[in-house]
Amino acid sequence: MTIAGNWKMFFGPEPMELADLDAIVAPPYTRLVDCVEAGLTTYAQNVHWEPQGAYTGEISAPLLLALGVRGSIVGHSERRQSFGETDETVGLRTRAALDAGLHVIACIGETREEREGGEMENVLRRQLSVLEPHPNLVIAYEPVWAIGTGLTATPEICRDTHGFIKTIIDVPVLYGGSVNPGNAEALLSQPCVDGALVGGASLDVESFTAICQTAARIHS
């Protein structure tokens, strides 16, 4: 069971307060060193496919590895929606990061219109078509309509969609989208749910700790 906290563009909590948790944190770049030095399993929120070069504003796998960073989120829906991320670039980023030795949490998920229009399976199949199974690859299923909205996929939607994803790619699948201490148990106890990618609730030490404790209890 994997619990990962995506701090997005927020300063985030004091890393030492999270030191005892069995969890991944993905802070903004300026806090990567603090998190690594606190002994946390630290991921970036994005990674470029070239090892170096004239790519202003990007970061590469070798640069992250040199800092002690262990992995990266790739293809988050906020990058897809607001920063021109495509399935193709998600594939390039993921492959380069895995080849370099980073772990990857690759995010997929449909919008509300796509789900209501019966397109969910096609969208997920297309997003997954650029990814291949790898021991260091994890998928995060994050329905766009559930991210930061307080709307969570029901445990049944989670179970069914994760089951569908696993028929296409056999790697662990995390759920993401408004996970909080109140719904973590119901979501994480579903079959095919291998953990959670937590946004808003990962910024609060008490909430994130509670989610990690729930995951540990379910796992034991």
Q: Kindly list the catalytic residues.
A: 76, 142
Binding of ligand PGA by 179 (CB under 6 A): yes
Q: Cα–Cα distance between 113 and 116 in angstroms, integer?
A: 5
Least separation in angstroms between residue 197's CB and ligand PGA is 5
Binding of ligand PGA by 176 (CB under 6 A): yes
Binding of ligand PGA by 184 (CB under 6 A): no
Interface residues for ligand PGA in 151-170 (CB under 6 A)?
none
Interface residues for ligand PGA in 107-146 (CB under 6 A)?
142
Binding of ligand PGA by 182 (CB under 6 A): no
Among 27, 109, 177, 195, binds ligand PGA (CB under 6 A): 177
| Only segment of 37-45, 98-106, 126-134, 197-205 that touches ligand PGA (CB under 6 A) | 197-205
Q: Cα–Cα distance between 192 and 6 in angstroms, integer?
A: 21
CA-to-CA separations, 26 to 40, 138, 151, 175, in angstroms, rounded: 10, 14, 22, 16
CB nearest ligand PGA: which residue?
A: 199
Least separation in angstroms between residue 212's CB and ligand PGA is 14
Q: Cα–Cα distance between 211 and 189 in angstroms, integer?
A: 12
CB closer to ligand PGA out of 91 and 176: 176
Binding of ligand PGA by 200 (CB under 6 A): yes
Q: How many CA atoms lie within 13 A of 168 on its CB side?
A: 19
Q: Cα–Cα distance between 179 and 142 in angstroms, integer?
A: 10
Chain centroid offset of residue 19 CA: 20
For CA atoms 94, 97, 100, 101, the dihedral sign is negative
Which burial class, exposed, middle or buried, applies to 68 when counting CB atoms under 10 A from its CB (0-12, 13-18, 19+)? middle
Binding of ligand PGA by 198 (CB under 6 A): yes
Query: Contact positions toward ligand PGA, by CB under 6 A?
Result: 6, 142, 147-148, 176-179, 197-201
